[in-house]
Amino acid sequence: MDDFLQHQPVTRAVSLALRDAHDPRVWSDLLFLEAWEMHRPADLAATLRASQIRRANPGLVAAIERELKAAHDTGTMKS
């Protein structure tokens, strides 16, 4: 999972969330969540980690999903 993890956010939602995040572990979690939302690997450990982060950040998850859906629908999806 970590091999495709972005080092910079793709979505505006994560970019905004990272502004308030000063702990490197939070950065790691948010970038992980964004990458997971984009690629959703079939790895059990990654899915469990994503599930925990999603539960703790439902508003952020909804914003990421909206952005990714809009980008996909318009063909402007970055990967």
Query: pTM of the predicted model, to two decimals?
Result: 0.82
Each domain of the chain, given as residue ranges in start order, spans 11-74
The rounded mean pLDDT for the chain is 90
- By three-state DSSP, how is residue 5 classified? coil
Could you tell me the two tokens for 22?
A: 């000063």
d(CA 43, CA 71): 25
Greatest distance between any 2 Cα atoms in the chain: 34
Q: Is 3 a residue whose pLDDT tops 70?
A: no
Predicted confidence (pLDDT) per residue in 43-74, tens digit: 999 999 999 999 999 999 999 999 999 998 88
pLDDT of residue 76: 78
Q: Is 79 a residue whose pLDDT tops 60?
A: no
d(CA 14, CA 12): 5
d(CA 70, CA 65): 8
Could you tell me the two tokens for 72?
A: 């996909």
What type of residue sits at position 63? A
